[in-house]
Amino acid sequence: MTVTATNTSGSTAPLDPAVLHEAVVDWFGEHARDLPWRRPEAGAWGVMVSEFMLQQTPVARVLPVYEQWLKRWPSPAALAVDAPGEAVRAWGRLGYPRRALRLHAAAVAIQERHAGVVPRRHEHLLALPGIGEYTAAAVASFAYGQRHAVLDTNVRRVFARAVSGTEFPPGATTAAERRIARQLLPEGDAAAARWAAATMELGALVCKASAPVCVGCPIAAACAWRLAGSPAYDGPPRRGQTYAGTDRQVRGRLLAVLRASAEPVAQAVLDGAWQEPVQRARALDGLVADGLVEPLEGGLYRLPGA
């Protein structure tokens, strides 16, 4: 099947996948960042840890935490025998601490189901806690060199612009996007894995969400969005996140207190983290329900133990 891009006049011109592949992969060869999880010594576990941390958190903030994490827990087995609360503590301020809990749970599952080895099969990866469609494809591709359509926010944006001619992709991944990704995927395993990494990097460094650097783009001449005159986004409003005053902020405050304490913390201390008592109680209940906080006897709280 042929991949087409919409041009200015509304007609379509065929994109030659082989030409795109070469341009993007060559660009990647020159501009790829030297990230620790891309080095061979990272292994599948290193790749997996990085993917968890990079879910909605920028590379620059992940780097130091990633290094200390792998030094402390160089294998799933090492993490699995530690308390989940230690994972939450080491997660620091990366945000969305449920990811730390899920990474710990995934390590336990890898011990139980896969003899301590990060599974190779997409199906088995997908079954692990905290691993969805994207992360399963990413680990299978980056750690094991398999052929998978890796559709993260960067790749989706690159395809939206280069192929579909729109500034931004839809709110949720669509069947149409998966079809485009599958059609553009090179045949061989190694080529597909390289392509996945290259398109992600292109989205991260050049085809950025705001202020794309089209002068540095290897496929600018073939980009449907550019050829259409870079029309402004006209789809449904992309969801903006308010944060100040939300339960999420309160949860963050409470968890910060617990992270900072090696000992269980009294209710009264947690009360100092947020003024408004109803919201504070709701947030704490939520953290307990999520397994991020463990209530003890006598009004004490701590990060979850083993």
* Residues taking part in catalysis: 51
> Can residue 175 be called a binding residue for DNA (CB under 7 A)?
no
**Nearest residue to 72 (alpha-carbon basis) of 35, 96, 104:** 104
Which CB atom, from 18 or from 215, has the smaller least distance to DNA? 215
> Do 31 and 213 touch, CB atoms closer than 8 A?
no
| CB contact at 8 A, 129 and 104 | no
Residue window 12-31: x/- pattern of binding to DNA, with contact defined by CB under 7 A = --------------------
What letter would DSSP give residue 242?
A: P
Q: Is 161 in the site for DNA (CB under 7 A)?
A: no
Q: Is 300 strand, coil or helix?
A: strand
| 235-254 positions binding DNA, by CB under 7 A | 238-241, 243, 246-249, 251-253
Query: What is the nearest approach in angstroms of DNA to the Cβ of residue 80?
Result: 17
- Angle (CA) 46-48-49 rounded to 5° is 65
- Closest to 167 (Cα-Cα) out of 240, 237, 235, 222: 235
Neighbours of 73 (CB within 10 A): 22
Instruction: Give me the sign of the Cα torsion angle 62, 64, 67, 68.
Output: negative
x/- map, 81-100, DNA, by CB under 7 A: ------------xxxxxx--
Could you say whether residue 201 binds DNA (CB under 7 A)?
yes
CB 143, min distance to DNA, A: 11
Q: Single out the residue of 55, 146, 166, 199 in contact with DNA (rule: CB under 7 A).
A: 55
- Single residue of 163, 204, 220, 270 touching DNA by CB under 7 A: 204
Give me the least distance between CB of 5 and DNA, in Å please: 22
Question: Using CA atoms, how far apart are residues 221 and 278, in angstroms rounded to an integer?
Answer: 56
Phi first, then psi: what are they for 13, rounded to 5°? -120, 140
User: Which of the ranges 182-190, 198-206, 271-279, 296-304 carries the binding residues for DNA, by CB under 7 A?
Assistant: 198-206
Q: Which of 82, 133, 189, 271 binds DNA (CB under 7 A)?
A: 133
CB of 10 to DNA, least distance (A): 26
Q: Is 58 in the site for DNA (CB under 7 A)?
A: yes
Which residues in 268-297 contact DNA (CB under 7 A)? 286, 292
Instruction: Measure the CA–CA gap between 12 and 239, rounded to whole angstroms.
Output: 31
Decide if residue 68 touches DNA (CB under 7 A): no
Token digits of residue 224: 């449907």
Query: How many Å apart are CA 118 and CA 76, to the nearest integer?
Result: 8
Give whichever of 5 and 105 is closer to DNA, judged by the CB atom. 105
Q: How far apart are CA 295 and CA 68, in angstroms?
A: 28
Residues contacting residue 180 through CB under 8 Å, at least 6 positions apart: 3, 159, 163, 164
List 23, 44, 70, 200, residue binding DNA (CB under 7 A)? 200
Q: Which of 146, 154, 164, 199 binds DNA (CB under 7 A)?
A: 154
Applying CB under 7 A, the residues found at the interface with DNA are 35, 37-38, 50-51, 54-61, 93-98, 102, 129-136, 138, 152-154, 171-172, 200-201, 203-204, 208-211, 238-241, 243, 246-249, 251-253, 255-256, 286, 292
